[in-house]
Amino acid sequence: MADWNLPTLTDLYQDFLNLLKARDDDLAKMFDGTTSSNLPVGTIRWSDANARFEKWDGTAWTELTTKYLINVDTVDGIHASATPTANNLLPLDASGSLPADITGDADTVDGFNASPGSAVTERKNSLLATDGNGQLNIYSSLSTPLGCYSTSWVGIYGQSDTSFGIYGSSSSNLGAYGYSDTSIGLKGRSRDDKGVLGEGATYDFYANGSGVNYGPFTGAHDGLIKDPDIELGDIVVDVRLVRSSNISNAIFEVAPSSQKAQKTAVGVCVFTSDLNERNIPAALLDQDAERDEDGQLPPVQGFEQIAAEYDLISFNALGEGHINVCGEGGDIEAGDYICTSSMPGKGMRQDDDLYHNYTVARARAPVTFDSPDEVKQVPCIYLCG
């Protein structure tokens, strides 16, 4: 055990070598496991027990830092100069999985910072790093920064409690690609938001398979509503245009239908939710603004005022589902057209069998009523477009 106040001028000459050797032992071991005394404040040691560097504050050893900048030239024995994909490699264990001891955070790999939008995105090699939340980020100017393949089940799986489980972005090709021999190539699931969000300059989603391109199919639109207590299955009608965003997006204030055969009917309520910055419809995103570090667009100017006045509503307009109907137009047979009634939000059997500009849906099952104001729900095909 070294006393770092020694030697002093009063120590005997024959003790000097032993006192200095005790100090040398501390330094050779980087103070790991030593019981030295009178250490200078700011002494740095390696702690094998805590697997970290620590600093002496005068009374205790504390963590030196929570994050390190580490330049890596060689990964799994392959130098970055030897192959254009050296930084795209991680050592795998015998089973082909990532080692369990890869837990560190890295801001810099091979001299490039891991932050999105920095010079690292210009690299020809892919950069892999964990951010401050422990999430895995991969940036690459190559065709595929991350490829996962499975012959039996899930090729890639991501889960998040608050944001994106999987996020893919590309400046020239596919943002995310999934392939499977036997099951699901790519699956999205969310507990309280969108399962899959697609955004592209040409198609947000594009199907080119030889089987059913999209199914089962029900298409919905966004709207703004002042009455969030509308019943699910009720018909809504356009009230006024709130904003046009681009050729594919316009958003209207809607309200429950209130008259027979309203030609402004646009669909059937699926759900309503708070309108806030975590829940912004496409038509209220500022398409001309710069994206944030997560690739997201900000809301349009005046969004706070819109959010204070409205809730968000999603209403089915195409495909199949259900609709609330009343007996005002009489019993309904399968195949009958449905239009709005005088009962707020409720449909009824249309007077004729012609498709009109006020036709909302076509019934798929018969319904009988005991009175004009009795309300039931019937399966249907939506015809609002």
What domain range includes position 46? 13-63
Query: Would you say residue 77 lies in a domain?
Result: no
CB atoms within 10 A of CB 345: 24
Q: What is the DSSP letter of 113?
A: E
Of 27, 44, 63, the last residue of a domain is 63
Query: Would you say residue 47 lies in a domain?
Result: yes
Number of domains observed in the structure of the chain: 2
Residue 154 CB contacts under 8 Å (≥ 6 apart), including other chains:
180, 183, 184, 187
Query: Would you say residue 284 lies in a domain?
Result: yes
Alpha-carbon span 111 to 295, nearest angstrom: 24
Query: Would you say residue 304 lies in a domain?
Result: yes
Query: Would you say residue 206 lies in a domain?
Result: no
Query: Would you say residue 197 lies in a domain?
Result: no
Residue 276 CB contacts under 8 Å (≥ 6 apart), including other chains:
307
Torsion sign (Cα): 301, 242, 362, 342? positive
Torsion sign (Cα): 98, 102, 106, 111? negative
Q: Tell me the CA distances in angstroms from 89 to 67, 77, 108, 130, 145, one per residue in order.
A: 22, 10, 16, 15, 10
Alpha-carbon span 349 to 362, nearest angstrom: 9
Of 63, 82, 102, the last residue of a domain is 63
Of 45, 63, 81, the last residue of a domain is 63
Backbone angles phi, psi at 56, to 5 degrees: -85, 120
Give this prediction's pTM. Answer: 0.60
Query: Would you say residue 157 lies in a domain?
Result: no
Q: Which three-class secondary structure state does DSSP give residue 345?
A: coil
pLDDT tens for the chain, residues 1 to 385: 688 788 888 888 777 788 888 888 888 888 888 888 888 998 999 998 888 888 989 888 899 887 777 666 665 555 555 444 444 444 455 555 444 444 444 455 445 454 444 333 333 334 444 444 444 555 555 555 566 666 666 666 666 666 666 767 666 666 677 766 766 677 777 666 676 777 766 777 777 777 777 778 899 999 999 987 899 999 999 999 999 988 999 999 999 999 999 999 999 999 999 999 888 999 999 988 888 877 788 999 999 999 999 999 999 999 999 999 999 999 999 999 999 999 999 999 999 999 999 999 999 999 999 999 999 999 999 999 8
Structure tokens at 260: 């027979």
Query: Would you say residue 144 lies in a domain?
Result: no
